[in-house]
Amino acid sequence: MKRNTCIIYSFIGLLILVTSCLPVRKYKINSPDGRIELVIYAAENSGIRYSVWFEKIQVLEDCSFEILFKGTRSFGRGLKIAGTQIRTIDENWERVCGKRKKVRNYCNEMKLELIETGETKRMVNLFFRAYDDGIAFRYEIPQQQSVTDFSISRENSIFRFTGDHRIWATHWSDFHTSQEQEFTEEQLSDLKMDDIIGAPLLVQADTNIWIALLEANLTDWAGMDFAAGNDKYSVVTRLSPLPAEPDIVVKSSAPRYSPWRIMMLGDHPGRFMESDIIHNLNEPCALEDVSWIKPGISAWDWWWSDGFAPDKKRKLGPDTESHKYFIDFASEMGWPYQLVDWNWYGAPFASTETWEPNPEVDITKYSDLCNIPEIIEYARSKSVKIILWLEWHHVNRQMDEAFPLYEKWGVTGVKVDFMDRNDQEMVNFCHKVVKKAAEHHLLVDFHGAYMPTGIERTYPNFITREGVLGNEYNKWSDRITPDHCLTIPFTRMLGGHMDFTPGGFVHGNRESFRIAGQTGLPYTMVRGTRCFQLAMFVVYESALQVICDSPYNYRKNPEGLDFLKIVPTTWDDTKVINGQVGDFIIVARRSGEEWYVGIMTDWTPRNLEIPLDFLGEGRYHAVVWSDSPDSGEYPERLVKSEVTLSGKDIHVAKLASGGGQVIHLFPE
């Protein structure tokens, strides 16, 4: 340990440049590979500012931060450096579920101890970390006489870009949102000061320079959004206010750390999908035993809860027999879960027009139609486990009695829905649910939820979340286009797991797609080909993949169903081979010695070359599910083939309009 310390501090002269005779002090820190450089400027009259270079090109300039406390003056100017510390972090850890099993946390960190020059002498510690794939910073309000309990009315972390770059942004109308919107392509100059722009914000600064702004380790704090800043080509953080106190975003007491603010940097947006930076900025796993946390695919009734099952000659609904129907199919497919969605404990809402929670229901009691113990016992006989849907107000009221009861019943997990906020109160509620669920061996799937920030590293029973415009919108809209499906891997999914609920098996192309809720169709359609939907199971990250369609549709037209019997939902490694935002994507993921490749395109048919050098040495047997030559007219059709490949080969994927391909490779 002493030897490492000596090595680290021997490089301080290279990492920190201080000119004491000048009014501005300059501090420098680099990423371990040297491609990213952060320069911090400290001046008492203008506070702390920093600039960022990637591959020797400046991408952010003169960025700053300011904390506005309610009832007292802001903190950000009139500061001096009371001390500095620097260290190199290099550690290894393992995920329970996710994109990569073995993770390296490797960065250079600088801590600046700041103190006001005025009478109050308030102190704040500012931490910067330089990773090979980005810069992160957060601040600490330490224990001190001048700051005990505090309320923050605003945080102004300002990111100043060097030009009017192309961006992909998602706009919220207000802070009460399920975060289910498209990411639209715009320019920085299009943003307004009264905008609420959700994280992440993806920025293309140059052909080979990409930046993504997002946050990590959101704990007992308000979630971060963005708006246009006062300066040209700048954005500033907007934290979600407390519902009952809209002039306050955070109420807390010292000592307290803020979440990490992240600037991902790379030469391609696919590098961000491979990144571990968000989880590296969260706390290690808090659970001693994680053996009960099992990833997998879940059958799901809700897409068809108001549909008709012709092979059963009956209407599907929130009843015992319908769930047995789905359990039978999950068992047939070898899937470990069945998700019992809403209405199992009665009508959860007093009105579906206002979505006000029903105060009369009790989540420790099941309805006459839906016998939960009987469903659980039937599922157990079929080697399937049950996940229960819950409305969040009811969970908030009853989790202390309900979760122990669910464990006694034999429930495996809970899906908590309709939070639709990311203010401090809601963040704390979500953390409470995940911790309480872990005490009773329950997995957690949040819907109507905010952007992930990495807590699943600390509590891996938090197995997935929504916060995405997903397949369910096909029931009542035409918004789930191939363009959208190929934008979210490079935007929403940068935060982590994403419960898109893939796997629709009734397809439409541009002309034939119909909205069930508007046309009276007895089924819900998806846009694009069968292979487009199959590829989602590789491209979209979620340790719990909740599959959306009906057993009847899977059995009626089973092409590709064999792939859904074998595809994993957690991975040992992930590589993004190529892609363009909104246009196409190629993702390879490894499970043990086997590789799975998912390829998707927008409405433009493509022939994509895929170098297979990620395979390394040896030859592989490849099973390929491809679009049929007539998939443009009949999108449900596919062709299955087999071939031998090696890492020296280049595979060519021929994709139909709105098409895809999946490949399963295993050593010969």
**Span 330-351, pLDDT tens digits:** 999 999 999 999 999 999 999 8
pLDDT band at 517 (very low <50, low <70, confident <90, very high): confident
406: Cβ–Cβ under 8 A, 6 or more apart, which residues? 388, 414, 440, 442
Instruction: For Cα atoms 441, 467, 191, give the angle at the middle one, nearest 5 degrees.
Output: 150
* Structure confidence at residue 513 (pLDDT): 95
The CATH number of 65-279 is which of 3.40.50.1580, 3.40.50.300, 3.40.605.10, 2.70.98.10? 2.70.98.10
pLDDT band at 257 (very low <50, low <70, confident <90, very high): very high
* Structure confidence at residue 112 (pLDDT): 95
Give the Å distances, CA to CA, from 298 to 213, 317, 378, 388.
32, 18, 16, 12
Give me the residue label for tokens 């029931």.
475
Whether a cis peptide bond, with omega within 30° of 0, leads into 269 is no
pLDDT band at 613 (very low <50, low <70, confident <90, very high): very high
| Average pLDDT of the residues of the chain | 93
Query: Distance between CA 38 and CA 50 in Å, rounded?
Result: 7
Q: Which helix (H) or strand (E) holds 237?
A: strand 234-239
DSSP characters over 246-309: TT-SEEEESSEEPPEEEEEEESSTHHHHH--HHHHTSPPP--S--TT---EEEEE-GGGTTSEE
* Structure confidence at residue 311 (pLDDT): 55
468-497+504-541+552-668: what CATH class?
Answer: alpha beta
pTM of the model: 0.94
Residues 584-601 have a mean pLDDT of 98
Question: Does the structure show a pLDDT above 70 at 15?
Answer: no
Question: Does the structure show a pLDDT above 70 at 552?
Answer: yes
Amino acid at 158: I
Residues 354-360 have a mean pLDDT of 93
- For 95-196, strand residue ranges (E) read 102-116, 123-131, 134-141, 149-160, 166-171, 184-187
Question: Does the structure show a pLDDT above 70 at 142?
Answer: yes
Query: Distance between CA 76 and CA 143 in Å, rounded?
Result: 18
Domain range annotation of the chain: 65-279, 283-467, 468-497+504-541+552-668
Question: Does the structure show a pLDDT above 70 at 16?
Answer: no
Give the Å distances, CA to CA, from 117 to 47, 78, 93, 127, 576.
11, 6, 42, 20, 49
**Do 283-467 and 468-497+504-541+552-668 share a fold?**
yes
Question: Does the structure show a pLDDT above 60 at 17?
Answer: no
Residues 240-264 have a mean pLDDT of 97
* Structure confidence at residue 313 (pLDDT): 58
The CATH number of 283-467 is which of 3.20.20.70, 2.102.10.10, 3.30.1180.20, 3.40.190.10? 3.20.20.70
Give the orientation angle of helix 392-409 with respect to helix 372-381, to 10 degrees: 50
Q: Which of 645, 646, 601, 647 is nearest to 626 (CA)?
A: 601
* Structure confidence at residue 309 (pLDDT): 54
Tens-digit pLDDT profile for residues 376-412: 999 999 999 999 999 999 999 999 999 999 999 999 9
